[in-house]
Structure 1
Amino acid sequence: MRVVLTTWGSRGDVEPLAGLAVALRELGADAVVCAPPDDDFGRLLARAGVPLVPLGPTVRSVVAGPKPPTAEDAFKLAPQLVDARFETLAAAAEGADALLATGLMPAGARDVADHLGLPYVFACFHLLGLPSRHFPPGARPGTPSSPDETDNRVLWQQDAERVDALYGPAVRNHREALGLPPVGNLRDYVFTERPWLAADPLLCPSEGRTDLDIVQTGAWIMPDDRPLPDGLEEFLDDGEPPVYVGFGSMAAYAPDGIARIAIEAVRSRGRRIVLAAGWAGLAPIDEGADCFAVGEVNQQALFRRVAAVVHHGGAGTTTTAARAGAAQLVVPRIADQPHWAARVAELGIGAAHLDPVPTVESLSAALDTALAAQSRAKAVGGEIRPDGAMVAAKQLVELAG
């Protein structure tokens, strides 16, 4: 049995598929991942022993500039990704038994599955973007809704129109070339009526949050048994647990001067720092022995050794920190990150810094709240499900078989 998994997005969109692929392999199924050709992702999938089929442009080429991508950039990227799915993904899926898509609106993936006669699953790592009568949609490039419009049904219909404006022309051209009938609501066609939610039920409760029939599997966690880098073990042993600071794949989105602000805030509380460079290239501000800089690192091992994790609020980092029992200070930037920040605060396992312009003073105060939540965070850590990838793999094998 062979399953094709596809995504386009940051590491938080790719690593869960590596975890799912490992679980599928344990069940005797082969898996291939069609994902952006960034070097980071190639190394990640190679470590998991999972083949990578490059799909679309690198994510770094889109998001790692000095400024965030514009709406104009989005309208250029959307047809590129659709073309890649009808070409690259279609070739990879020939002879496969199922296709699962996630990441940035995977328009084109279900069309390929339908054309090849494959079972198709849309999966997501949070609820943002799924239609709901209870909540309005998030921001999306295109014609904005009127600020006076308050009817969520109308707002979600307008969201569907924005999706069609982005991806519809390219999808229609490819479907017509393949002799496939036109699709009405492209967004809902991509999502299906039963999307899978690869998020922990405690961290991301789904009941009553969307109009769709959610299948919640739990988070897809990739096993990681790598040792910590040279010198980091000694640093961790040489004093009280430090505070981890990292903003993952946030490059243009990281707050200005966040390395200096975070280091000074942590120092003001008498704590040492582990600073992760990430795509934003965070670096120490001086040669102080209380700050240890790391690159790619085993977060599962590291987060069990720190007092708190200061991060951007990606689904993967939030889940890893929660599972490790580490208190969290979330400084959200875009997309689903404010929702994860709010949930961390709601659960009492850390703090949310919702002001988009942190200062040393504001971050220090929020860090106090986070550090005070260490006992609660440790207790909640034992409640996070570790088996989400295997739950999903079993369902996918059943669907494919």
Structure 2
Amino acid sequence: MRVLLSTYGTRGDVEPLVTLAVRLRALGVEVRMCAPPDEEFAERLAGLGVGLVPVGPPVRELMRGTTLPSAADLSRYRTEMVETQFDVFPTAVDGCDALVAAGLAQIAARSVAEAAGIRYVYASYAAVHLPSPHHAPPPRPGWPEPEVNDNRTLWELDAHHVNAQFSETLNAHRAAIALPPVDNVRDHVFTDQPWLAADPVLGPWRETPGLDVVQTGAWSLADERPLPADLTTFLEAGTPPVYVGFGSLRPSKDIVRMAVEAIRAQGRRVLVSTGWADPDLVDGGDDCLATGEVNHQRLFGRVAAVVHHGGAGTTSTAARAGTPQVVIPLQLSDNPYWAGRVADLDIGAALDGPPPTIESLGRALRTALTPETQARAKALGSRIRTDGAAVAASLLVEALR
């Protein structure tokens, strides 16, 4: 049995599929993965015995600045990605029994699976990406911001924008491989039975007509890596610090500076993750340490709070650790959704409004650091599932059998 997994994006997009690959291999399935050609992804997959099929440009190149590419550049990138997928996917899927795609960017995946006569599964990492009257679509950079508030209308407009971007290119390729055209590209990619790789407590799906969503739980591996010696020394040298990190995103230096200042104003020590962003610290004070990519599963249980951008992986890991969160969503993808979930569950605070200030960050930190918030975060952490990828792997293998 052989399965092709495919996604494109930062570590938060790739790592869940890596986890699914590990679980599938444990069931005797051969796995290969289409992913960006960044060195860290190639090394990660090689270390697990999963073949990488590189697709598209390195993601780090697209994430170099603190602002996104222009709308015109984003449109060009998206069209070029569809062309690349139709070039690469048919060979990558050769000999496979199924193709699992994660993310709306996987426009060509279902068509290639159709042409090959194999099973196709679409997976989302957050409920907000799937159409529902219970929430609005996530922000999609480069596309017009609608001026309506009705969720159904917003999803209709979202489908229109997806069609405007991809319909002509997709249907031209489908015609070339003797497949009929599709009139709703987004729903074609999603299917009517998508998988939701998110925890049902942290990010539940609300029943929606027309979609038979299979919620498996989040896909994450146990991380056994030890923390670096300098980080361990810092953690043991005083009270638990507040962690600040924005993953693969590049926030403005002002946000990092304000976060450090606001944390210090609460009398707390600070731990800043450089990630891909390489933020500058305000100074080299003994109460503030910069660290690179480390084991968040080990770290988050040892910090007082986690200040982050609202990525699915960071939100889930902090929740599992039972640690309060302060979310500063960067208005991308599912960031605002996870900020809202943290606020709704009262396991921290969200600054999803005007640009953050030292004062607003201070208020959010005071909320997150109260004993009541800490108790709620700890209680919720004990309810988070850890078997999502195993559930998904078993579902796929049983379906293929």
TM band (smaller chain): over 0.9
Contact preservation (8 Å) 2:329, 2:351 = yes
Displacement of 1:357 after TM fit? 1.7
Task: Please point out which of 315, 318, 321 is paired with 1:321.
Answer: 318
Q: Percent of aligned pairs with the same residue?
A: 53
Q: Which residue of 2 aligns with 1:269?
A: 266
Q: Aligned match of 2:366 in 361, 368, 371? A: 368
Partner of 1:348, secondary structure, is coil
TM-score (norm 1): 0.94
Q: What's 2:298 paired with?
A: 301
Indicate if the aligned counterparts of 1:7 and 1:104 stay in contact, CA closer than 8 A.
Answer: no
Contact 1:217 1:391 in 2 (8 A): yes
SS at structure 2 position matched to 1:231: helix
Q: Given the alignment of the two structures, is residue 222 of structure 1 paired with residue 218 of structure 2, yes or no? A: no
Whole-Å Cα distance in 2 between the matches of residues 85 and 280 of structure 1? 28
Query: Within the alignment, does 1:25 sit opposite 2:22 as a pair?
Result: no
Q: Distance in 2 between matches of 1:127 and 1:294?
A: 32
Secondary structure (helix, strand or coil) at the match of 2:127 reads coil
Superposed CA offset, 1:24-61 (max 9, x none): 11111121111111223223334444322111112222
Instruction: After superposing the two structures, state which structure 1 stretch, 224-233 or 117-126, moved more.
Output: 224-233
Describe the superposition over 1:225-271 as per-residue Cα deviations: whole angstroms up to 9, x where unpaired.
111112111111111111110001112xx144122111111111111
Deviation, 1:152, is: 4.3
**1:180 aligns to what?**
179
Equivalent position amino acid for 2:13 in 1:
D
The aligned residue for residue 341 of structure 1 is 339
Return the alpha-carbon distance in structure 2 between the equivalents of residues 103 and 396 of structure 1: 18
Contact 2:262 2:359 survives alignment (8 Å): yes
Counterpart for residue 380 of structure 2: 380
Cα distance between partner residues in 1 of 2:172 and 2:261: 54
**AA matched with 2:362:** S
The alignment's C-alpha RMSD in Å is 1.8
**Is contact 2:253-2:280 (8 Å) kept?**
no
Partner letter of residue 17 of structure 1? L
Task: Indicate the residue corresponding to 1:34 in structure 2.
Answer: 34
Aligned residues: 398
AA matched with 1:327: P
Residue 392 of structure 2: aligned partner: 392
Tell me the residue number matched to 2:91: 91
Matches within 5 A, 1:1-400: 1-140=1-140, 144=144, 147=147, 149=148, 152-208=151-207, 211-251=210-250, 254-334=251-331, 335-372=333-370, 373-400=373-400
CA distance in 2, matches of 1:381, 1:43: 31
* Aligned mates of 2:296, 2:143 — CA distance in 1: 40
- For 1:129 and 1:243, the matched residues in 2 are separated by 30
Range moving further from structure 2, 314-323 or 354-363: 354-363
Change (3 A) 1:151 1:337: closer
Q: How far apart are the structure 2 equivalents of 1:310 and 1:213?
A: 34
SS at match of 2:229: coil
Q: Deviations over 1:278-319 (max 9, x none)?
A: 222123221111111111111111111111100000011000
Give the secondary-structure state (helix, strand or coil) at the position aligned to 2:394.
Answer: helix
**Cα contact 1:242–1:271 (8 A) shared by 2:** yes
**TM-aligned CA deviation for residue 183 of structure 1:** 1.4
CA gap 1:349/1:18 in 2 versus in 1, 3 angstroms: same
Structure 1: distance between partners of 2:289 and 2:209? 43
C-alpha displacement of 1:12:
0.9
Mapped to 1, the partners of 2:309 and 2:298 lie a distance apart of: 19
The answer for unaligned runs of 5 or more in structure 1 is none
Q: Secondary structure at the match of 2:126?
A: coil
Find the residue that maps to 1:128 and give its secondary structure: helix
1:153 is displaced (CA, Å) by 4.0
Q: What displacement does 1:209 show?
A: 5.5
CA distance in 1, matches of 2:319, 2:198: 12
